[in-house]
Amino acid sequence: MLNPNIRKQFPVLKHIENGHELVYLDNTATTHKPLRVIERMTKFYTHQNATVHRGVYGLSQSATDYCEEARKKVQTFIKAKHEEEIIFVKGTTEAINLVAESFGRFHLKKGQEILITEMEHHANIVPWQQLCIKHGCTLQVAPIKDNGELNLEAWKAGINKNTGLVAFTHVSNALGTTNPVQEMCDFAKAAGVAVLIDGAQAMSHIEVDVQALNCDFYAFSAHKMHGPTGIGVLYGKHELLKIMPPYQTGGDMIDVVTFEKTTFAVPPARFEPGTPAIAEIIGLGETIDFLTEIGLNNIFHHEHTLLNYANIKLKEIKGLRIIGEAKEKNAIVSFVLDDIHPHDAGTILDTEGIAVRVGHHCAQPLMKRLEVPATIRASFSMYNTLEEVDKLVAGIKKIQGIML
């Protein structure tokens, strides 16, 4: 387990909710921010604020340097070959939309197939569905098994000579399932198919090496890894980015503009129009330093100790059914309670200061496949404790006492 003093670095954990110390178990939705990230952003606004890439004056040049340092930190963190392969976007959702619009519309051919899986978040379904409508491609969906694991054989069989791109999540936000991404990349690349990985739920838990994976695109959001909202990353292989057309146009992404014609900047600038989220980019850089100092392996082990304990304790509760029991999982546990609607459960847990997510988790097709309208989801992070798991268990017993 990590040193419990780590909690002191997250000021919001002192928050009192309904008379109770906050038990925050909704880390899949967003994570809390350590003080050093908050302070780094405050320092920027207090002493260093200026725009980037434009000013000849010192303050602007320094702001540009801080942002480009953050880009290098991301490059090192995910082991990308070139810093130009790191595109700053708003988050995972924008990253996937960028690939669907730019790579999808210009490099996939009419009649080609896009293969996703049944466990995807809406962010990795809807952009592809829209692309298919506009561009004449077909969306194929690989099935999962009843335990929430991907049916890997069926997924492999879903790749054929018509497949133009496969898009799959590294970790399922609704079930916690961790996919065998290396094997999936190896298989897809051997078949000559482009690969996008939705890494939103992996980034602060699992070491990612995009060169070893050999994926073409990898998308993630800073706010799910203890960084700021409004900033995320699209990693794309340089050889693809340099032939991809812009996703959005305007200032900062051009080479030469006349009223007749515009030529575009090389990546990453081509994909970063307008004034970027400067403080957030710098905050992301600080977040990466923070995670690197703690060590992703240490975080992973801490979170898995909590997951294993939660699994044991939750399974002792009569009338509780865990949804998603893949062998390889991140520290996310989804469950339903007999005869109790998840929303009622969530509301009662809130009265105890326990924050969980209830609902379809932006994965409606997955809920339909699993024949549940919604689940209760507890997701753990580096600052959660075994005592908090006990509080969750006590909270569930209270719900059953009230509702049954």
Q: What's the farthest any 2 CA atoms get from each other in the chain?
A: 71
> By CB under 6 A, what part of segment 175-214 binds ligand 7TS?
198, 200-201
Token digits of residue 226: 């203890």
Minimum distance from residue 222 beta carbon to ligand 7TS (Å) = 8
Residues near 284 by Cβ (< 8 Å), separated by ≥ 6?
Answer: 70, 73, 74, 222, 227, 228, 231, 233
Rounded distance between C-alpha atoms, residue 309 and residue 141, angstroms? 34
Catalytic residue, chosen from 67, 137, 215, 362, is 362
- Does the footprint of ligand 7TS cover residue 233 (CB under 6 A)? no
346 contacts 376 by C-beta, under 8 angstroms: yes
137 as an active site residue: the answer is no
Find residue 304's DSSP bridge partners.
Answer: none
Minimum distance from residue 97 beta carbon to ligand 7TS (Å) = 9
Minimum distance from residue 358 beta carbon to ligand 7TS (Å) = 11
Name the CA radius of gyration of the chain, rounded. 22
Residue of minimal CB distance from ligand 7TS? 173
Outline where DSSP puts E strands in 226-374: 232-236, 254-257, 262-264, 320-323, 332-337, 354-355, 357-359
- Does the footprint of ligand 7TS cover residue 169 (CB under 6 A)? yes
The sign of the dihedral angle between the CA atoms of 182, 188, 191, 195 is: negative
Stretch that binds ligand 7TS, among 85-93, 149-157, 262-270, 291-299 (CB under 6 A): 85-93
Rounded distance between C-alpha atoms, residue 338 and residue 72, angstroms? 50
Give the residue with the Cβ less far from ligand 7TS, 55 or 359. 359
Stretch that binds ligand 7TS, among 10-18, 90-98, 266-274, 312-320 (CB under 6 A): 90-98
Of the candidate residues 93, 97, 287, 384, the single one contacting ligand 7TS (CB under 6 A):
93
The sign of the dihedral angle between the CA atoms of 5, 6, 12, 13 is: negative
Rounded distance between C-alpha atoms, residue 174 and residue 197, angstroms? 16
Stretch that binds ligand 7TS, among 46-54, 118-126, 235-243, 338-346 (CB under 6 A): 118-126
Which contiguous run of DSSP H or E holds residue 379? strand 375-379
281 contacts 88 by C-beta, under 8 angstroms: yes
Rounded distance between C-alpha atoms, residue 123 and residue 270, angstroms? 23
Give the residue with the Cβ less far from ligand 7TS, 91 or 273. 91
Minimum distance from residue 95 beta carbon to ligand 7TS (Å) = 8
Minimum distance from residue 45 beta carbon to ligand 7TS (Å) = 23
Minimum distance from residue 46 beta carbon to ligand 7TS (Å) = 27
- Does the footprint of ligand 7TS cover residue 121 (CB under 6 A)? yes
> By CB under 6 A, what part of segment 6-45 binds ligand 7TS?
28-29
Rounded distance between C-alpha atoms, residue 32 and residue 10, angstroms? 7
> By CB under 6 A, what part of segment 282-341 binds ligand 7TS?
none
Minimum distance from residue 234 beta carbon to ligand 7TS (Å) = 11
| Size, binding site for ligand 7TS by CB under 6 A | 17
Give the residue with the Cβ less far from ligand 7TS, 155 or 400. 155
The catalytic site residues sit at 362
Question: Which residues bind to ligand 7TS, rule: CB under 6 A?
Answer: 28-29, 91-93, 121, 123-124, 169, 173, 198, 200-201, 221, 357, 361-362
